[in-house]
Structure 1
Amino acid sequence: MSDLEDDDVPQLSSHALAALQEFYAEKKQCAYPGGDDKYNVGRIEENWQLSQFWYSPETALRLAKEVTAAAGEGGRVACVSTPSVYQKLRELHREDLAVYLFEYDRRFSIYGEEFIFYDYNNPLDFPVNIAHHSFDIVIADPPYLSEECLRKTSETIKYLTQGKILLCTGAVMEEEATKLLGVKTCKFIPKHTRTLANEFRCYVNYDSQLDHDV
């Protein structure tokens, strides 16, 4: 190429280049809320119409540590309608765990292959790669405090788990939860980022640390 042709190639000014770089940075941040950490759901706000209420950071961390211990090294964890626990698991950088998020809200598809679209109205509608009894523990928080929602979510839980169950739901669902899943109430009381009208509890069917050091 001649010198004349080189002179004809448009050059960006330093200000224009800085603006272009800022544009691409913002575009990346929109694709992965929270910046470089694609597992950060911080900018995905609760959608109350979908009955979404995020756990407090302390509760999310406590539950993430609990399922990590329950799953064991190299374990598999299913987070059913619990995106804030999924986020904490990934913040802990436990690459030895296989973790999947089963969630109705497609905004969480930013998690890629670890996101499984889930509608509790179709409790056993899973991709072919989700096998029967393929998770060491299932942590679930049914989106609605109703017998129907808990019953259908229980079908999902029992299909996915090899045995261990950690359920977070309203205290009013205790009797139904025990009947459907054989779980018992823990001493640990989960908290949310916003004050809820209904009292919440954690329920398990195994010897859990949530009953100790509360």
Structure 2
Amino acid sequence: MDNDDITLPADTLAILNEFLAERSKREHDEEQRMLNKTGKDAHFEEDWQLSQFWYSDRTKRAIGDALAKLVKEHNSSDFRIALLSCPSLYATIKDVHEQVNIFEYDQRFAAYGTDFVHYDFNAVDSCSDYLVEHHKRYDLIIADPPFLSEECMTKMSKIIINLQRSSASKLVFCSGEVVEPWLVANLPLHKCNFRPEHERNLGNEFVSFANFNFDHYIENNK
């Protein structure tokens, strides 16, 4: 007898279909539960191939405290923050302010739900409307470009110019000191006294840049 000729009684088939539907629903609900549980508390290891290096707890606290004061000064529910290539800041900033988006190439961070925006800084030269749905939306942008090169600084700067809500938007860059000439050639930034630290010691000297007195907010929160 050919297997294709085997059929189940209608009542048995109905029970089987009901069981399969319930199992599918349970699996879907469990996936959603785990996603919701993960949220901002997700923990990811650095991927050095993607040039990921996590900030130290001290640095995260310093930046988080500074941003808390900035958010309080603006006193607006529409105040929006963008984090570009600095995912280790996300949980800290999310505790400070609800309206934050994390722009990352690494798809693992989709665990952050609708706050996650997948992006590739290289795409900005091939599409004039790249990330157009996020243009002119952000009042504060923090960026930590993945590579210490003129090309990376130039492309990241183009994206940031598009993302800032206006020329009054505040910008903070954390990167190697070596990028200063390329960075200030594209954005109105100056080097700050604040020096971000990482969980692992890096060979390059890291500094911060901003278009406002970022040190004032850091120093007043020590």
In proportion to residue count, which structure has more helix?
2
Q: Which category of TM-score, normalised to the shorter sequence, fits these structures?
A: 0.7 to 0.9
What does the per-residue CA deviation read over 1:83-128, in whole Å, with 9 as the maximum and x for residues that have no partner? 11111112x253xx41000000000001111100010101352263
User: Which is bigger in relative contact order (C-alpha 8 A, separation at least 6)?
Assistant: 2
The whole-number CA distance in structure 1 between the counterparts of 2:58 and 2:149 is 27
Shift in Å, 1:60: 1.5
Output the TM-score relative to the length of structure 2. 0.73
Pick the structure with greater CA Rg: 2
Instruction: State the match for 1:18 in structure 2.
Output: none
Contact 2:55-2:198 within 8 A present in 1 as well: yes
The one-letter code sitting in structure 2 at the alignment partner of 1:81 is S
The whole-number CA distance in structure 2 between the counterparts of 1:61 and 1:158 is 27
The yes-or-no answer on 1:50 pairing with 2:50 is yes
What does the per-residue CA deviation read over 1:60-94, in whole Å, with 9 as the maximum and x for residues that have no partner? 1222233343343321000011111111112x253
Match of 2:181 among 163, 175, 186: 175
Q: Identity over the aligned pairs, expressed in percent?
A: 35
The whole-number CA distance in structure 2 between the counterparts of 1:186 and 1:30 is 42
Deviates more, 1:67-76 or 1:98-107: 67-76
Q: Which runs of 5+ in 1 are unaligned?
A: 1-23
The one-letter code sitting in structure 1 at the alignment partner of 2:158 is E
SS class of match (2:39):
coil
Instruction: State the match for 2:91 in structure 1.
Output: 87
Structure 2 counterparts to residues 19-34 of structure 1, below 5 A = 31-32=34-35
The one-letter code sitting in structure 1 at the alignment partner of 2:194 is F
Paired positions, count: 181
Match of 1:212 among 202, 212, 219: 219
Question: What value does the CA root-mean-square deviation take over the aligned residues?
Answer: 2.4
Structure 2 counterparts to residues 29-40 of structure 1, below 5 A = 31-32=34-35, 36=37, 38-40=39-41
Instruction: State the match for 1:198 in structure 2.
Output: 204
The yes-or-no answer on 1:59 pairing with 2:59 is yes
Structure 2 counterparts to residues 7-156 of structure 1, below 5 A = 31-32=34-35, 36=37, 38-42=39-43, 44-71=44-71, 72-73=74-75, 74=77, 75-90=79-94, 92=95, 94=97, 97-123=98-124, 125-126=130-131, 128=133, 130=134, 132-156=135-159
Contact 1:70-1:137 within 8 A present in 2 as well: no
The whole-number CA distance in structure 1 between the counterparts of 2:32 and 2:114 is 19
The whole-number CA distance in structure 2 between the counterparts of 1:193 and 1:169 is 15
Output the TM-score relative to the length of structure 1. 0.76
